[in-house]
Amino acid sequence: MPIIGRWRGEEKMKRFVPKYLDPASRLGEILFGLIMVLTVTLTAGLTVSEGRAGVRQLLLTAIGCNFAWGIIDAVMYIMNCLTERSGKIRLIEAVQRARDTRAALDVIQNEIEPELQSLLDPEEREAFSRSILNHVAKARITRPGVTKDDVYGALACFLLVFVSCLPAALPFLFFSRPIFALRVSNFLLIVLLYLVGRKWAQYGGTDRRVAGTTMTIIGLVLVGVAILLGG
């Protein structure tokens, strides 16, 4: 029964995170979280104590970094949601304050992404803009604060960053030598960077090997700099 309960919990999380974060956002959160944990643990390794005390210090550093970065990402998610809604409100206000229909259409067309405009001929672009105008001109402006979905999305960010970076902390639970545990943690993070880079390339339409190798090089450079500095 505990195994079934844990499996159901994992399934709920798998459905929960994609509901609020698209694939590119999910991979971006994981990628920057991994780089942050790698950087912080390497920095801590420069002054770490010997023996179990040093291992405990690195363990707390890794977990603390995961936790802190998860909170930062969660707050940034909420701020981004508020900023996007404010931008939409400003667009509605600009359209409704326009002196005439032509000016309102110009405001709308300036907001249409160039990629979308290139797919439409002038008549289609005009019709598309007018359909938006008909909707926006009658829209009622409300200024909501933080919504329930904002909070859930922020929680999804936190869980994604915290859980995905936990493998970096595992070596500090099993090895008693701080530097050796740190190197194993570095290795795990670099492998994860490579895998995330490949997965990101899948959505970005770029070469997987190039993306994975680039992320690996970033990780190796960070480790190399830390070693040169004595870590």
Which helix (H) or strand (E) is 150 found in, with range?
Answer: helix 148-164
Residue-level pLDDT at 7: 46
Residue-level pLDDT at 12: 57
Write b or e for each residue in 191-228: b if 16 or more Cβ atoms lie within 10 A of its Cβ, otherwise e.
ebbbebbbbbbeeeeeeeeebbebbbebbeebbeebee
227 pLDDT tier (thresholds 50, 70, 90): low
pLDDT over threshold 50, residue 6: no
**Cβ 201 vs Cβ 53: under 8 Å:** no
Mean pLDDT calculated for residue range 205-228: 77
Task: Please count the structural domains in the chain.
Answer: 1
The region of weakest confidence among 32-36, 51-55, 174-178, 209-213 is 51-55
**Cβ 199 vs Cβ 220: under 8 Å:** no
Instruction: Return the closest-CA partner of residue 182 out of 223, 212, 225, 229.
Output: 223
**How many beta carbons lie within 10 A of that of residue 64, not counting itself?**
14
Tokens 């009622």, residue? 140
d(CA 132, CA 125): 11
Mean pLDDT calculated for residue range 187-193: 85
In terms of residue numbers, what domain contains 68? 2-228
SS3 73: helix
d(CA 2, CA 66): 26
pLDDT tens for residues 19-43?
777 777 777 778 778 877 877 777 7
Mean pLDDT calculated for residue range 110-125: 72
